[in-house]
């Protein structure tokens, strides 16, 4: 086998793990794919015979490219039109990805490499080009931040589906009271339109305010549209279609009592295009692998 084919084969084995790392760090598919592609181009330019540990080398290059993207993304997100929400995919919960946003870029990289991908402290320190003691402190600080803001586990799939039926029933009947019963008292509602679709430019807080908005405003806007249950970012979610195309994706974060603590609404068309791409999540190594591009109807799991 030629050197180029060996290099290609080695990279493809690592691609799911690199994609999983990049998506968790960056929050969007396009940025994650750019990071992985950049890693591949740098890999092709190397004499792989001189690289003792291909996995470590690829992880380091990909993580550092993600760090560079995050540095430039900080200003971009400060200038972003309205709330920024991670792109909906079939991997981790949106709530978890939003917790990642609370960490500094290096904290995020250290936490993911150590706690999700299982790298040793020495390996993480090598990736981040810091000493091991400093690496341990970075991981410890990141863990405390994650644990203090960690979302509760979502209810069982059957309970999530029952919730969605109750949610849509409240919307269809116009019952603010029934909707409010599904929400936690401190629920937060965020919409990401990115300046490219109609969306709230601020968050809504509190069960009464959020329930009224969903039932009275969204209920009217969705009246003539088709709504489907799908699985996005690890939880049962809603996707609303208009003229056969998805224009809104709504996912939820739950509290310990099983009530909705967060409502995440993605309307930015740049973040809806990948809904037709199935990403599987490997629990053993944290990898994310795209299984294929299909018509949206067949790519998502449809529940009703």
Shared-domain flag, residues 112 and 62: yes
pLDDT of residue 220: 82
Shared-domain flag, residues 213 and 83: no
The token pair that represents 176 in the structure block:
């603010």
Place of tokens 């088709």: 226
Shared-domain flag, residues 117 and 234: no
Task: Tell me whether strands 277-281 and 260-266 are parallel, antiparallel or unpaired.
Answer: unpaired
Shared-domain flag, residues 143 and 182: no
Cα separation of 19 and 250, whole Å?
24
Shared-domain flag, residues 128 and 263: no
Q: Is residue 98 part of a domain?
A: yes
Burial 236-271 (b: 16+ CB within 10 A, else e): bbbbbbeeeebbbbbbbbbbeebbbbbbbbbbbeeb
Range of the domain at 181: 157-299
Per-residue confidence in pLDDT tens, the chain, 304 aa: 567 787 888 899 999 889 889 988 887 788 888 999 999 999 988 888 889 899 999 999 999 999 988 877 655 555 555 665 665 555 555 666 767 777 888 999 999 999 888 899 999 999 999 999 999 999 999 988 887 765 556 788 888 889 999 999 999 899 999 999 999 999 999 988 877 777 788 889 999 999 999 999 888 877 666 788 887 767 888 888 777 677 888 989 888 888 999 999 988 888 776 665 444 555 455 555 554 332 333 233 333 4
**Of 129, 149, 169, which closes a domain?**
149
Shared-domain flag, residues 114 and 208: no
The enclosing domain of 262 has a CATH number of 3.10.450.50
Shared-domain flag, residues 196 and 277: yes
The token pair that represents 115 in the structure block:
């706690």
Q: Is residue 304 part of a domain?
A: no
Q: Is residue 116 part of a domain?
A: yes
Shared-domain flag, residues 163 and 270: yes
**Of 101, 130, 149, which closes a domain?**
149
The token pair that represents 190 in the structure block:
């965020």
pLDDT of residue 92: 55
**Of 149, 170, 185, which closes a domain?**
149
The enclosing domain of 114 has a CATH number of 1.20.140.160
The token pair that represents 88 in the structure block:
């909906």
pLDDT of residue 287: 58
Q: Is residue 18 part of a domain?
A: yes
Ramachandran region of residue 295, left (φ > 0), alpha (ψ -120 to 50) or beta? beta
Q: Is residue 82 part of a domain?
A: yes
Shared-domain flag, residues 14 and 125: yes
Cα separation of 124 and 115, whole Å?
11
Using alpha carbons, list the distances in angstroms from residue 129 to 18, 47, 140, 174, 275. Answer: 19, 22, 17, 56, 36
Q: Is residue 11 part of a domain?
A: yes
pLDDT of residue 299: 31
Shared-domain flag, residues 170 and 284: yes
Q: What is the DSSP string of 67-121?
A: HHHHHHHHHHHHT-SS---PPP-SSS-HHHHHHHTTS-HHHHHHHIIIIIS---H
Q: Is residue 65 part of a domain?
A: yes
Shared-domain flag, residues 268 and 143: no
Q: How many domains does the chain have?
A: 2
């Amino acid at each position: 086998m030629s050197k180029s084919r060996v290099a290609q084969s080695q990279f493809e084995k690592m691609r799911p793990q690199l994609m999983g790392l990049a998506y968790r760090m960056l929050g969007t598919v396009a940025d994650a794919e750019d990071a992985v592609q950049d890693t591949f181009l740098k890999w092709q330019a190397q004499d792989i015979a001189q690289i003792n540990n291909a996995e470590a080398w690829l992880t380091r290059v990909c993580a550092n490219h993600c760090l560079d993207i995050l540095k430039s993304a900080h200003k971009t997100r400060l200038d972003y039109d309205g709330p920024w929400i991670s792109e909906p995919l079939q991997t981790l919960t949106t709530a978890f990805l939003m917790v990642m946003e609370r960490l500094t870029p290096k904290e995020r990289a250290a936490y993911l490499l150590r706690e999700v991908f299982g790298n040793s402290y020495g390996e993480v320190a090598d990736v981040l080009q810091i000493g091991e003691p400093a690496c341990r402190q970075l991981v410890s600080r990141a863990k405390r931040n994650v644990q203090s803001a960690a979302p509760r586990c979502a209810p069982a799939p059957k309970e999530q589906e029952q919730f969605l039926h109750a949610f849509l029933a409240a919307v269809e009947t116009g019952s603010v009271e029934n909707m409010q019963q599904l929400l936690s008292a401190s629920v937060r509602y965020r919409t990401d339109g990115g300046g490219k679709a109609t969306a709230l430019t601020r968050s809504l807080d509190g069960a009464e305010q959020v329930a009224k908005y969903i039932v009275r405003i969204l209920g009217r806007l969705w009246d003539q549209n088709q709504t489907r249950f799908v699985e996005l970012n690890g939880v049962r979610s809603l996707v609303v279609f208009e003229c056969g195309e998805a224009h809104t994706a709504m996912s939820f974060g739950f509290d310990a009592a099983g009530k909705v603590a967060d409502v995440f609404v993605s309307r930015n068309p740049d973040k809806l295009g990948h809904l037709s791409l199935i990403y599987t999540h490997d629990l053993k190594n944290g990898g994310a692998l795209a299984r294929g591009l299909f018509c949206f109807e067949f790519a998502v799991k449809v529940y009703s």
